[in-house]
Amino acid sequence: MDVREAQKIAALARLDLAETELHRFATQLTAILGYFQKLAEVKTDGVPPASHPRDLRGPLRPDVAEPFAAAPGLVQRSAGADGDFIRVPRVLE
Question: Which parts of this chain interact with another protein (CB under 8 A)?
Answer: 1, 6, 9-17, 21, 25, 28-29, 31-33, 35-36, 38-42, 44, 47-56, 58-59, 61, 69-70, 73-74, 76-80, 86, 88-91
Smallest distance, Å, CB 19 to another protein?
12
Tell me which H or E stretch contains 5. Answer: helix 3-12
In the bound state with another protein, the residue whose beta carbon lies nearer, of 73 and 83, is 73
Smallest distance, Å, CB 27 to another protein?
11
Cβ-contact 44, 52 below 8 angstroms: no
In the bound state with another protein, the residue whose beta carbon lies nearer, of 12 and 65, is 12
- N-terminal to C-terminal alpha carbon distance within the chain: 34
Interatomic CA distance for residues 1 and 9, integer angstroms: 10
| Residue 82 main-chain phi, psi, to 5 deg | -145, 90
In the bound state with another protein, the residue whose beta carbon lies nearer, of 4 and 21, is 21
